Amino acid sequence: MRTALCDLLGIEYPILQGAMAHITDGKFAAAVSNAGALGVIQCGFDTPEYMREQIQICRSLTDKPFGVNLIMENDRIDEIADVCIEEGVQICTVSAGNPATIVPKLAEAGIKAIVLIPHARAAKKMEKLGAAAVVCEGLEGGGHIGSMTTLPLIAQVVEEVNIPVIAAGGIATGRGLLGALAMGCVGVQMGTVFLTSDECTVSDVYKQLIVDSKDNATVLSGVPGKKQVRCIKNPFTDGFWERYYAGVPEEELYDYCTGSIARAHNGDYEGGAFSAGMISPVIKEVKPVAKIVTDIMAEADAAWEDMKRIYG
Amino acid sequence: MRTALCDLLGIEYPILQGAMAHITDGKFAAAVSNAGALGVIQCGFDTPEYMREQIQICRSLTDKPFGVNLIMENDRIDEIADVCIEEGVQICTVSAGNPATIVPKLAEAGIKAIVLIPHARAAKKMEKLGAAAVVCEGLEGGGHIGSMTTLPLIAQVVEEVNIPVIAAGGIATGRGLLGALAMGCVGVQMGTVFLTSDECTVSDVYKQLIVDSKDNATVLSGVPGKKQVRCIKNPFTDGFWERYYAGVPEEELYDYCTGSIARAHNGDYEGGAFSAGMISPVIKEVKPVAKIVTDIMAEADAAWEDMKRIYG
């Protein structure tokens, strides 16, 4: 299997690792890139100095391409973009907020900007601004979510833009990858499956919650109509909704959520916000990153053989 | 293209037409079956007598297989199942409510029961009860919705049952069909695309709303946590949410919704609840049912050629 995304980014397999705040640092991204997919360093609300350090760590650990995620809500995002340019980063993913100024800046510097978009209108706008590709992330994805689901989003976007389209949200298997290619995408972005890797630094409690999940294991938390996050349903999310429906003031709700991400990473089952995608129940074990990637590719190849039988 | 669903149901193309209340009657289902897909007669809250009449109309208009949808919430569903048995119906889809008694009854009578399921646990239960196949319908579908989206739902279900799995919700194109097959499904169920057919009896206003829709055109209406319906966003849905957030009592909300489906069918833009899937914006024209089906199959074949290039 070789898609236009492999050629565009110089990677072996058409898989991007989703940037996850406080998790996918330079060391982690290097592990993913060494496995033949594209590792992506998160930026969260980190400083330009921290980002430079992570980029350098990543480069010291891999000679393969890697990316840096730029979150538009980071107050110092322009400086971080400058760091990427200075450090010779080749690929940036851009998410959360309005990327209208950063995309042309990256494109001008020769950095391939891959932009997360919520609908076809935004995809067309990003194409005009010089984006190299777009990621369509459906609301089934973990963490911060949009308002459309993956299938109708990609169906619309592949028809409306000429740049490559990457599917995200609800995909963690080789079959999901092959399905995205069948629908006209050039590859996929996956988050949750990389969260359950040996190399991931979150606690074993977090990984095991995903491995043990069944059926519709995730819920949203966060005030409806404002930013919401998809998490594994647990006492923390139950508590959020109890408070919300009891009419607790928003300020108190924010207080309730403060620290919940760190608590999840540290394995506090009761109090953590365990961001994860709706695809969690298909993930059955914690594996090394390299095995995650090779298993996905082997599954995709097997699914391809099944499809050849359908077409006789 | 020939899948296990074609063999199971004796149809040419692996496409089920989703049953739509008050819309997909015997005449409409016959048009779909004559096009090589599976037409399905809706039951809504109709009587056994009406259903017998529609089954006979359908049979008089096609010699191809067709199905009857059984909604468990219809008070006389057992009698309607008896009518299906007496009339020699070969295929029933079963939805909305608990199908635990009706599925074994249908299976015993030799009728293939295809059950809509909301999660993998239900799929496994239906397999044990004798269902011939399951439909995984994601919340991106039009009308009444579940709580999971199509991609993670089918990814889980194909791994957990041995009976054929059909994808629904967010699919209206040949690429969507091919994507579902790549993910291990044997076919798809489509609703919205058949709503925009020449043969469909809803007003042109309804069809044009779908054709003109863009981006994230649909919203849910209905009390959160209770039954919700996906509709095209319009003054009716805006009015619903204004009332809901103003704290209007539930009884008044129900009054507000009463008659809204009929108003949509009659073309009342302001007051109608225009059920439609999130996939609506990919539908660009109103066509005869036969052309809808052949266009989808041609698109799927073209997408297949694209995939062959990916695999070199």
Q: Does A1 sit within 8 Å of B151, measured CB to CB?
A: no
Q: Does A184 sit within 8 Å of B180, measured CB to CB?
A: no
* Angstroms from A290 CA to nearest CA on chain B: 22
What does the pLDDT read at residue B262?
Answer: 94
Q: Does B149 sit within 8 Å of A151, measured CB to CB?
A: yes
* Angstroms from B165 CA to nearest CA on chain A: 14
List of chain A residues whose C-beta atoms are within 8 Å of the C-beta of residue B1? 310-311
Nearest CA in chain A to B120: A215
Question: Of the candidates B151, B180, B312, which has its C-beta nearest A2's C-beta?
Answer: B312
Q: Does A184 sit within 8 Å of B182, measured CB to CB?
A: no
Question: Of the candidates A178, A215, A310, which has its C-beta nearest B3's C-beta?
Answer: A310
Beta-carbon-side half-sphere exposure of residue B149 (alpha carbons within 13 Å):
30
Q: Does B170 sit within 8 Å of A183, measured CB to CB?
A: no
* Angstroms from B126 CA to nearest CA on chain A: 15
List of chain B residues whose C-beta atoms are within 8 Å of the C-beta of residue A279? 151-152, 155
List of chain B residues whose C-beta atoms are within 8 Å of the C-beta of residue A282? 152, 155-156, 159
* Angstroms from A217 CA to nearest CA on chain B: 10
Question: Of the candidates A1, A175, A310, which has its C-beta nearest B310's C-beta?
Answer: A1
List of chain B residues whose C-beta atoms are within 8 Å of the C-beta of residue A224? 224
Please give the interface size between A and B, counted as residue pairs whose CB atoms are below 8 Å apart.
156
The pLDDT-based confidence of A65 (bands split at 50, 70, 90) is: very high
Nearest CA in chain B to A119: B215
Name the DSSP letter for residue A114: E
Nearest CA in chain A to B174: A183
List of chain B residues whose C-beta atoms are within 8 Å of the C-beta of residue A148? 140, 215-216, 278
| pLDDT beyond 90 at A159 | yes
Nearest CA in chain B to A121: B215
The pLDDT tens digits for A1-18 are 899 999 999 999 999 999
Rounded distance between C-alpha atoms, residue B221 and residue B225, angstroms: 11
Give Cα separations from A80 to A32, A42, A92, A95, B109 (angstroms): 22, 11, 11, 14, 68
* Angstroms from A126 CA to nearest CA on chain B: 15
Q: Quick one: average pLDDT of A88-112?
A: 93
Question: Of the candidates B147, B180, B307, which has its C-beta nearest A216's C-beta?
Answer: B147
List of chain A residues whose C-beta atoms are within 8 Å of the C-beta of residue B119? 215-216
What does the pLDDT read at residue B306?
Answer: 92
The pLDDT tens digits for A79-93 are 999 999 999 999 999
Give the tokens for residue B94. 């079963």
Please give the ipTM for the structure prediction. Answer: 0.95
Question: Of the candidates B169, B184, B278, which has its C-beta nearest A148's C-beta?
Answer: B278
List of chain B residues whose C-beta atoms are within 8 Å of the C-beta of residue A1? 310-311
Nearest CA in chain B to A6: B310
Q: Quick one: average pLDDT of A256-277?
A: 96
Rounded distance between C-alpha atoms, residue A118 and residue B226, angstroms: 27
Q: What is the mean pLDDT of chain A?
A: 96
The angle that helices B289-310 and B174-182 make with each other, rounded to 10 degrees, is 50
| pLDDT beyond 80 at A281 | yes
Q: Does A159 sit within 8 Å of B169, measured CB to CB?
A: no
Q: What is the mean pLDDT of chain B?
A: 96
Q: Does A2 sit within 8 Å of B156, measured CB to CB?
A: no
Q: Does B176 sit within 8 Å of A119, measured CB to CB?
A: no
What does the pLDDT read at residue A143?
Answer: 85
Q: Where are the extended beta strands (E) located within chain B?
A: 15-17, 39-41, 66-71, 91-95, 112-117, 133-137, 143-144, 165-168, 187-190, 218-221, 229-232
Give the tokens for residue B32. 């779909």
Q: Does A118 sit within 8 Å of B138, measured CB to CB?
A: no
From first to last of its 312 residues, chain B has per-residue pLDDT tens of: 899 999 999 999 999 999 999 999 999 999 999 999 999 999 999 999 999 999 999 999 999 999 999 999 999 999 999 999 999 999 999 997 788 899 999 999 999 999 999 999 999 999 999 999 999 999 999 988 888 999 999 999 999 999 999 999 999 999 999 999 999 999 999 999 999 999 999 999 999 999 999 999 999 999 888 889 999 999 999 999 999 999 999 999 999 999 999 999 999 999 999 999 999 999 999 999 999 999 999 999 999 999 998 887
List of chain A residues whose C-beta atoms are within 8 Å of the C-beta of residue B3? 310
To 10 degrees, the CA torsion angle through B142, B146, B152, B155? -90
Q: Does A170 sit within 8 Å of B119, measured CB to CB?
A: no
The pLDDT tens digits for B230-256 are 999 999 999 999 999 999 999 999 999
The pLDDT tens digits for A24-39 are 999 999 999 999 999 9
What does the pLDDT read at residue A144?
Answer: 84
* Angstroms from A15 CA to nearest CA on chain B: 14
Give the tokens for residue A232. 């594994």
Give alpha helix (H) positions in A161-233.
Answer: 174-182, 192-195, 204-212
Contact B132, B112 (CB under 8 A): yes
Cα four-point dihedral sign B199, B201, B205, B206: negative
